[in-house]
Each structure stands twice: as structure tokens, then as C-alpha cells.
Copies of this chain bind each other. A is one copy, B any other.
């Protein structure tokens, strides 16, 4: 599904990666590793089409856009969890049923917070609202940049399970995390930096 050829990115005179080539098919997971500042986020943003100052080729064979979760929580403080999630998913999926939204929020352990505005949530809860999209999306490619940051231990376990299911069902997963990762499916690894 994803074909990357000779990707080179230079920021501020620092070569982040040079002539990077790889390809990723359905049912494959790739974890991008490297210490801080080695260009993991930059790579994922390039693949998501959010950063364009690079050389080389990125080819997606996809029907719809990938699902992207970045460093920012991606939720509006003024809207409630339900409203945020409905809008975020409707944007990409066309239409979502209210029940599905409630179910997804319950999956990320936000039962009881459905109608709380995201501005009065804790760091981890806000991130969870965004991650609840993983339970609603039909996107076949997921691009997740440090999805576990600010999430507690049991939350991480649940997310890992969801990712596992996605990959086993033939999805594509691109992931950055500095924490330990326990997926049952095979995870390829791409190391940036020296």
C-alpha cells in the first residue's frame, strides 16, 4: 500500500534521513524508532502529507486518507467529548451513528465524560477523546505519533489490543513510541539517527 523511494529530508542543515526506501503492505506494522530529534515525527508528517520539504517519492495506494494522530490532542476545548468525536469522525467517514460514538468513548474509558467539554479534562483524557477514533474509523492506514503519551497503563494495554486487531485485519500501521510495545502481530522496525 505504501511505497517510499529515496526519501531525503534536511532540516536546518541537519540531514535527518537520506535515501530512505521501504514499502509496507496490508497487514504490516512499522515502528519508527530513534532518540529525540532524529526525525521520526518529520517522517510521519511527510507520509501523512503534512510536511512537504523533502526529496524523493511517497506513493500511497489508498482509497481514503490515512488516519493521523499527532503530538497535538486534536480536540476543541469548547466542545464536549461526544461533539468532538462526532465531528472528527464524520469529517473522515461521512456519517457516524451516535451510538457508535458512545461506544467508542466507552472503549477509551470515558464513560460519564460524554458531555463534559474537553477543556475541563485532564491531559490524558483529552488524548483519549482523539484516540477513540481508532474505534470508529474505516481507514486502512493508521499513522500514530506517540499515541501513548499521557495515557495510563491500562489505557495503553487497550490501545495495543486495538492496534493488534487492526493489523491482523489487514490494516497498515505506522507508529512512533518511546515506550515498550507489546503487540502480538509482527512489527517491523525502522531506526532513524545513528
Total identical chains: 2
**Cα–Cα, bound, A40→B156 (Å):** 18
- Say whether A151 faces chain B, with CB atoms less than 8 Å apart: yes
Beta-carbon contacts of A136-165 to B below 8 Å, as 1s and 0s?
000000000010011111111000000000
- Say whether A95 faces chain B, with CB atoms less than 8 Å apart: no
- Say whether A3 faces chain B, with CB atoms less than 8 Å apart: no
Q: Which residues of B contact A146 (CB under 8 A)?
A: 123, 150
Contact assessment for B120 and A152 in the assembled complex, using a CB-CB cutoff below 8 Å: no
Contact assessment for A155 and B36 in the assembled complex, using a CB-CB cutoff below 8 Å: yes
Residue of B at shortest CB range from A128? B36
Known: A12-B116, A123-B41. A154 touches B35 (CB 8 A): yes
Contact assessment for B151 and A36 in the assembled complex, using a CB-CB cutoff below 8 Å: yes
- Say whether A37 faces chain B, with CB atoms less than 8 Å apart: yes
**Cα–Cα, bound, A125→B151 (Å):** 20
- Which of A34, A109, A156, A178 has the most B CB atoms < 10 Å from its CB? A178
Contact assessment for A153 and B178 in the assembled complex, using a CB-CB cutoff below 8 Å: yes
Known: A120-B12, A123-B71. A36 touches B150 (CB 8 A): yes
In the complex, the 3 A-B pairs of residues with the closest C-beta atoms, listed nearest first:
A36-B124, A37-B122, A35-B152
